[in-house]
């Protein structure tokens, strides 16, 4: 009975996980949480401090990074958290093609490349199951007049659609694919509070829970979706936004 309770309280213990963009913000919080729950985690990031450095925009770099992560973990990962991404603001009329391409390459192409490399390794190794959690955003669901970013919004909407299609195609291989859509989260990428008064007004008027979310709260949702507790969930895009998309 004690063993069953221990397993139930640590449903991701013993798993091998890869987290892209795992050195900061939500990625770092997810890495810390997964490790605290007994998972082995390899952090993939463009910064030298990562377990494995990677350029998520480049297919060869991603393939090599996943292979290196498998060596570090003692076998192919069975959990992927694709959290690498960049946030940019630019009015649509001023948005340059290079800016568009940069955001799309990192956010959407990077998510596709990481998911493809991860899934190919699982399928080739005939592993019975796996889980992918992609990091989207409420920007995929609603527009924003105050912080315009058509390139960012489109990239995150693409991730939601990509997540759903991946879920359909990878289900026969036992791989679940879900996404999370964070709202205003207190991370280094947050721009809302650059003007504290405007930030407080936004939280008061546009977020029913009237506060910022934390990276730890998003990480908890990611860990759940990656765990066996979510074994019958695939293709979901979960808003984590304090209710902001309800208004």
Q: Catalytic residues, which ones?
A: 152
CB atoms within 10 A of CB 146: 11
H helix intervals, 38-149: 59-73, 97-103, 110-124
Q: Give buried/exposed letters for 111-142 (b at 16+ CB in 10 A, else e).
A: bbbbbebbbebbeeeebeebbbbbbbbbbbbe
3-state secondary structure of 82: strand
- DSSP of 15-59: -EEEEETTTSHHHHHHHHHHHHTT-EEEEEESSTTSSEE--TT-H
State the first-to-last Cα distance of the chain, in angstroms, to the nearest integer. 46
């Amino acid at each position: 009975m004690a063993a069953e309770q221990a397993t139930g309280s640590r449903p991701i213990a013993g798993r091998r996980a890869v987290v892209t963009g795992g050195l900061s913000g939500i990625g770092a919080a997810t890495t810390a949480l997964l490790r605290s729950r007994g998972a082995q985690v390899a952090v993939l990031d463009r910064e030298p401090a990562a377990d494995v450095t990677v350029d998520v925009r480049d297919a060869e770099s991603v393939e090599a990074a996943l292979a290196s992560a498998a060596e570090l973990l003692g076998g192919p990962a069975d959990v992927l958290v694709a959290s690498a991404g960049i946030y940019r603001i630019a009015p649509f009329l001023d948005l340059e093609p290079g800016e568009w391409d940069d955001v799309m390459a990192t956010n959407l192409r990077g998510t596709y490349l990481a998911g493809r490399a991860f899934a190919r390794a699982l399928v080739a190794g005939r592993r019975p199951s796996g889980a992918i959690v992609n990091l989207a955003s409420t920007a995929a669901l609603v527009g924003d007049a105050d912080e315009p970013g058509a390139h960012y919004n489109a990239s995150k909407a693409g991730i939601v659609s990509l997540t759903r299609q991946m879920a359909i195609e990878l289900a026969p291989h036992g791989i679940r694919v879900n996404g999370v859509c964070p709202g205003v989260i207190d991370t280094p990428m947050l721009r809302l509070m650059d003007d504290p008064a405007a930030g407080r007004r936004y939280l008061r008027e546009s977020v029913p829970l009237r506060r910022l979310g934390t990276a730890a709260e998003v990480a908890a949702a990611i860990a759940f979706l990656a765990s066996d507790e979510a074994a019958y969930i695939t293709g979901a895009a979960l808003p984590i936004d304090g209710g902001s998309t309800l208004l």
